[in-house]
């Protein structure tokens, strides 16, 4: 398994085929953004060289599988939010089941309130805003 950043991993299936997985429901800081490396390190700590379960139903515009990643029943996407290493990706929340949508939102609010991880910064910049700025310049 490889970890590209705080919301993207590459896994091997039982046939040793690689699949790039974009973690569903979260948006982590970009590599060149504040907390980008910390978010990647957090995800690595959670899943690197471990067996994960991926539930998915679509590919994104880059061909990655958008998946709900679990390790021994623990929701890895949610864990990144709780650690303050990702935002709840509200732009795509309609694709989540209601329970996840509520839990992810509440977990982001709790991390913000406790100033965990990226919420320690005064004005963290959402990755989607950062990407728009970078690609427009």
- Is 95 catalytic? The answer is no
Instruction: Name the catalytic one among 38, 45, 61, 64.
Output: 64
The vertex-79 CA angle with 74 and 83, nearest 5°, equals 150
22, 79, 83, 108: which is the annotated catalytic residue?
Answer: 22
3-state DSSP call for residue 20? strand
CA distances from 17 to 1, 14, 67, 135 (A): 11, 7, 16, 32
* Catalytic residue list contains 112: no
| Local structure of 51: helix, strand or coil | coil
- Exposed, middle or buried by CB within 10 Å (0-12, 13-18, 19+), for 91? exposed
Using CA atoms, how far apart are residues 16 and 51, in angstroms rounded to an integer? 13
126 part of the active site? no
Q: Report the catalytic residues.
A: 22, 30, 64
């Amino acid at each position: 398994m490889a970890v590209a950043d705080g919301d993207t991993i590459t896994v091997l299936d039982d046939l040793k085929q690689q699949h790039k997985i974009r973690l569903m429901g979260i948006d982590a800081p970009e590599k060149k953004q504040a907390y980008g490396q910390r978010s990647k390190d957090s995800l690595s700590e959670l899943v690197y060289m471990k067996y994960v379960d991926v539930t998915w139903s679509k590919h994104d515009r880059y061909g990655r599988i958008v998946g709900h990643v679990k390790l021994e029943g623990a929701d890895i996407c949610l864990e990144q939010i709780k650690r303050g290493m990702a935002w709840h990706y509200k732009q795509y929340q309609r694709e989540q089941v209601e329970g996840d949508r509520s839990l992810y939102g509440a977990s982001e609010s709790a991390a913000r309130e406790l100033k965990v991880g990226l919420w320690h910064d005064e004005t963290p910049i959402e990755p989607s805003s950062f990407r728009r700025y970078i690609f427009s310049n």
